[in-house]
Amino acid sequence: MKATEPPSNSSLNLTHRPASELAQLIRQREVNVETVVQAHLTQIKHYNPQIKAVSVLAEEEALKSAKQADQELSAGSVEIGPLHGVPITLKDHAIVKGMRTTLGLPQYWNYRPSKDCELVARLRRAGAIILGRTNVPFGCYDWNCRNPIYPETVNPWNPSRTPGGSSGGAAAAIATGMTPLDMGSDLAGSIRLPSHCCGIFGLRTTDGLLPMNDVGPEDFPDAPSLLTVCGPMGRSIADLHLMLSVLAPEQRKETTPVPEKLRIAQTHKILDITADETSQAAIESFLNNLSKDGHTVTRDCAPEVDMAECFELWALITGHLASISLPKLMRTEPLNSILLFYVLQMRMGGGWIAQNLRKGFHSSEQNFQNALGRLEEIRGQVTKFYDQYDLWMLPNMPGPAFERTRMNWNFKVDGQRVSYGTYNGTYHCTTALMGTPGLTVPIGFSGGLPLSVQVHSRAFSDFWLLKVAEQHLESHADIRWPTGFGPAS
């Protein structure tokens, strides 16, 4: 994809508006869909060679869909969805009919699905225009954005740093105005961590809220859908709410009122991982602002569960599901052993998380069922915690986006060597196991790199959480455009 001339001021005006605002402008006929889509295509062509966030550009299909959307508006069609004419990208994870879908895996380099998964179909029915796919790591299974098929995505705040993973391409594209919205997925922070690294909002939805059974390639074996979820990513809470209302229409009528004053629990430390001083200071400043607003903050408070057990159960369940859901070819030797070594040693850097994932991969069906039983007990304990608190806040990462290292075991916490997987997974795997919605809120910067806090609430309170964030949290957020990517002054 070659670079083009810089976008015009009018194009920048469109590429830097929220999706919710674009949808309103289109419905009111103040701008036509083709103009909006073309502006985003121009933005991608100009900046993507630098950032490498968009791996597949569907220009012809997007412009064709845009013309059709304009015709429907001109004809006075009553079938105008909430995303009518709004351009979006889609992480290279969920299958999209006729559009290359790889998951960063070489065997899928030219795979074009014969159908949309249900979530993509919902977005299309709502009128969204798909611009293309955003980049992911190998198998969508890493906290960076590197795979053997496409160039590695870089962080728009500092190209020597990672945009995060696995939804790193999505986060970088949103941060640079290439797209207003993307649908990420999250098993171990894959929405929350890239949102942190690139300074945007992202929502890991409640486990079980959205249909996940048909998201992967059509030749994937049938397996239970557990722990992995999809969710919206964008630059405003309103945009996340807009996309989620399309993805989960049956849940959007939630009527629980937003309290005027919140009961907030907060912790910096999970197991042996603690956020660095700058991150802690940013979170403390955010909490102090909330306290000034009259909300109650209880520090060093978390669900009363064994976090080590949560981490171990996450690894056992994830490893077991991976073992039964791999394509048949990858379950045969020697490919299976090579894959495990590559993922667990070369990508995860070995360590505690890799050891437990390996145990899960080789676990019996009985061990898996026992783990599911314990999972339900833990989630019951977490539910009781939210009888006492409205929100639980904790760091997203121990620090800002890390360097794009090739060998992933070079982190230190308080002078102690920590494996790549433990460093990036501790705040995310434990909370994913709990199954609750988790929202990334950008709150500050360290050395020119974004910092954030993740905010959790009761299971299936996703829309309520977004309402709370819009009413009480967003005014204290710190969301900016990376240098060189903001609107023209």
SS3 content of the chain, % helix, strand, coil (to 5): 45, 15, 40
Catalytic residue among 55, 65, 166, 185: 166
Identify the burial level of 458 via C-beta atoms within 10 angstroms of its C-beta, where 0-12 means exposed, 13-18 middle and 19 or more buried.
buried
Cα–Cα distance, 19 to 17 (Å, whole number): 7
Respond yes or no: is residue 91 known to be catalytic: yes
Q: Is 294 left (phi over 0), alpha (psi -120 to 50) or beta?
A: left
Catalytic residue among 65, 91, 245, 279: 91
Catalytic residue among 190, 363, 452, 461: 190
Q: What is the DSSP string of 377-412?
A: HHHHHHHHHHHH-SEEEEESSSSSPPB--SSS--EE
Cα–Cα distance, 96 to 98 (Å, whole number): 6
Cα–Cα distance, 407 to 351 (Å, whole number): 13
- The verdict on whether omega for the bond into residue 442 sits within 30 degrees of 0, i.e. cis, is no
Tally of residues, the chain: 489
* Contact assessment for residue 251 and residue 463, using Cβ atoms and an 8 Å cutoff: yes
Identify the burial level of 189 via C-beta atoms within 10 angstroms of its C-beta, where 0-12 means exposed, 13-18 middle and 19 or more buried.
buried
| Cα distances (angstroms) measured from residue 83 to each of 70, 116, 398, 486 | 13, 17, 36, 24
* Contact assessment for residue 91 and residue 136, using Cβ atoms and an 8 Å cutoff: yes
What number of other Cβ atoms are within 10 A of residue 109's Cβ? 13
Which segments of 392-472 does DSSP mark as H helices, in order? 420-434, 462-468
Cα–Cα distance, 438 to 462 (Å, whole number): 8
Cα–Cα distance, 395 to 182 (Å, whole number): 23
Catalytic residues: 91, 166, 190
